Amino acid sequence: MTLKKLFGGICCAAMAMFAVSCAQGVEDEAWTSGVSGVQLESPAADAVVFSLATDASGNEQVKVQWPVSMGAGGYEITVFNVNDIDNPEIVVDHVTVDGCSYLFPLSEDTNYEVSILSLGNEKYNNKGAATATMVPFSTMIGGVTIPAGSEIGQFITEWMTSHVAEYKAAMAADPNFEWAFDLERGAAYTLDQAADFGPIPVRLRGTQGNRPVVTLGEKGTLRPSRGLKIKNVNFDCAGMYPDSKAGHRGLISMMIDPDESLAGAQSYYCDKPIRIESCWVRELPVSLFNIDNCAWGINEFRVADCIIQLNNRLDNAWKTIICAHSGTGRYLGTDSAKWYGGIANTMILNSTIYNIWPSDTLKDTGYFIRFSNQDISKFYGSYNGCFDIKNSTLVRCVPRKDFGNNIANKTQYVITFENTNFWDCYRLQKVKRGGTYVWKNNTIWGVFNSVDSTDKQEIATEENMGFTDENIFKVLDLTQPNGGVNFTATGTISSTIGDPRWLN
């Protein structure tokens, strides 16, 4: 199921209700119809309609509409995110609307509850409704729940194999089709083998406020090929084999020999986003993301609101933290056939990424980010991409090696580092290859190596953030608030930027 189909069914049956004049900004006299001296009621729940809309900035919004309450002086709207049923979050806080519709931000995989209260009208001596109407609304797509305690690699691979023809037909009918695997609230799972998602965009969903924990074995990995969105899941990677001999090169490793429908002119192409959001990762000994042996072009890779704790010695070139460099250039079953690989849009947002391996014994064969080629147009069709690191904290990423390699080199490709603390990170300037650059309000501190001169002259202010061994060597504890770690900075600038969870 897709959002557009979800909305379609509920909208068509009810839109006839809104033939009455009821737009935002209408004067009282236009819709009171002479009603006076009454106790008003809030709109009936079964008459409330939801649809998708786009605001003036081009952002998708949820539009909620309701029939007029004759004689009302407006409506008070409150919207809650109730993904964590024990701790609802207010999305819209008691906004007064002078009409019969309201737009609020759209988030995927979110359960909402919308409160609509009819307000009184002193001019006509009408009292406001005694209670608000509460209407549930969800952007959750269809999926299957994996039973608690399962080994999810076999479950996912077998499910997708048995349903691939059905899902490919659904995608042909609706390009927005996605499928979801749900993990139970607070449950424990294992991942001992590759979870192959096939040529379908997939979501792996946990629960906000009580995330499930997936413990990886030696060969555990997540293998997408047409997009993967992971949200509200914690991963314990201490049991992963720290070498590509195990059959993986990352927590997320692109499929080897994927469906031939994904073959482009110069590489396979993943046109749907790969995102990891609101997740924690513990003791990861390999890449966070890796295209593995095949030549792959990726439309989008995003990390948002995450804590990623690495235990990565960087002793292998394929252990680069975000690696879009192919090992063999495998394409259509043949090694060394294609060498194009990269990511059109890379985003690190509101996150902490830190490596607990001591700097003095780290190797210098891995980067933070690496592409096969600077020419992302070979798989993407243009250079209109980005590499953003914003409002984040990066620790020991990487202290002995160039920060980036083979990054896109045309002015259409925009690199933005903003409000970010870089601790023991070396040669950020190696991402500079001819693109357009925005460096704004960053700090950097050298430990193993002194800060590169270009880094401190152009990209970031040299400042000691005050991190100690207690911060930088602590293994993430998945049972504690913020994983039991603390990267609150103490510098003049650094204390005001970085991952928002560390700000006072």
- pLDDT per residue as tens digits for the range 221-252: 999 999 999 999 999 999 998 876 666 799 99
Give the helix/strand (H/E) hosting 133.
strand 133-138
Judge contact between 266 and 340, C-beta under 8 A: yes
Backbone angles phi, psi at 275, to 5 degrees: -135, 140
Q: Residue 272 pLDDT > 90, yes or no? A: yes
pLDDT digits (tens, 9 = 90+) for 277-304: 999 999 999 999 999 999 999 999 999 9
Q: How many CB atoms lie within 10 A of CB 430?
A: 20
Task: Give the separation between CA 132 and CA 135, rounded to whole angstroms.
Answer: 10
Bond from prior residue into 95 cis (ω within 30 degrees of 0)? no
Give percent of the chain above pLDDT 90.
Answer: 80
Please, what is the Cα angle at 329 between 265 and 370, to 5 degrees? 100
Looking at residue 19, what is its pLDDT? 36
Contacts of residue 420, Cβ cutoff 8 Å, sequence gap at least 6? 389, 390, 391, 392, 393, 394, 442, 443, 460, 497, 498
Q: What is the mean pLDDT of the chain?
A: 91
Structure tokens at 321: 């933290």
Q: Residue 120 is encoded by which pair of tokens? A: 């009184």
Looking at 350-465, which runs of residues are DSSP E strands?
A: 352-355, 369-371, 386-390, 393-395, 404-405, 414-418, 421-423, 436-440, 443-445, 461-462
CA angle (496, 499, 500) in 5-degree steps: 65
CA distances from 61 to 94, 106, 111 (A): 18, 5, 14
**Identity of the residue numbered 154:** Q
Query: Does residue 315 have a pLDDT over 70?
Result: yes
CA-CA distance, 209 to 207, in Å (whole number)? 6
Give residue-wise pLDDT tens across range 338-368: 989 999 999 999 999 999 999 999 998 899 9
Say how far apart CA 44 and CA 345 lie, in whole Å: 44
With beta carbons less than 8 A apart as the criterion, state whether 159 and 151 touch.
no
Q: Which two tokens stand for residue 433?
A: 């290859």
Q: What is the pLDDT of residues 400-420, one digit of tens each?
A: 989 999 999 999 999 999 999
Q: What are the pLDDT digits (tens) for 69-81?
A: 999 999 999 999 9
> How far is the C-alpha of 133 from the C-alpha of 45, rounded, in Å?
6
Measure the CA–CA gap between 273 and 201, rounded to whole angstroms. Answer: 8
Q: How far is the C-alpha of 194 from the C-alpha of 152, rounded, in Å?
A: 9
pLDDT of residue 433: 87
What is the three-class DSSP state of 323?
Answer: strand
Poorest-pLDDT segment among 15-29, 297-311, 455-469: 15-29
SS3 state at 7: helix
pTM for this predicted structure = 0.85
> Does pLDDT of 21 surpass 50?
no
Residues 456 and 467: beta-carbon distance below 8 Å: no
Instruction: Report the pLDDT value the prediction gives residue 176, as an integer from 0 to 100.
Output: 86
- Among the listed ranges 46-50, 170-174, 315-319, which one has the minimum average pLDDT value? 315-319
pLDDT at 244: 62
pLDDT class of 86 with cuts at 50, 70, 90 = confident
Q: Is the pLDDT of residue 15 over 60?
A: no
Cβ(417)–Cβ(392) below 8 Å: no
pLDDT grade, residue 125 (50/70/90)?
Answer: very high
Q: What's the Cα-to-Cα distance from 335 to each of 216, 247, 459, rounded to whole Å?
A: 29, 16, 39
**DSSP conformation letters of 345-372:** EEEEES-EEEE-S-GGG--SS--SEEES
Q: How confident is the model at residue 56 (pLDDT cuts 50, 70, 90)?
A: low
Q: Which residues is 195 bridged to in the sheet?
A: 222
**Rounded (5°) CA angle 351-357-362:** 115
pLDDT exceeds cutoff 50 at 18: no
What are the pLDDT digits (tens) for 22-55?
444 333 444 445 789 999 999 999 999 998 787 7
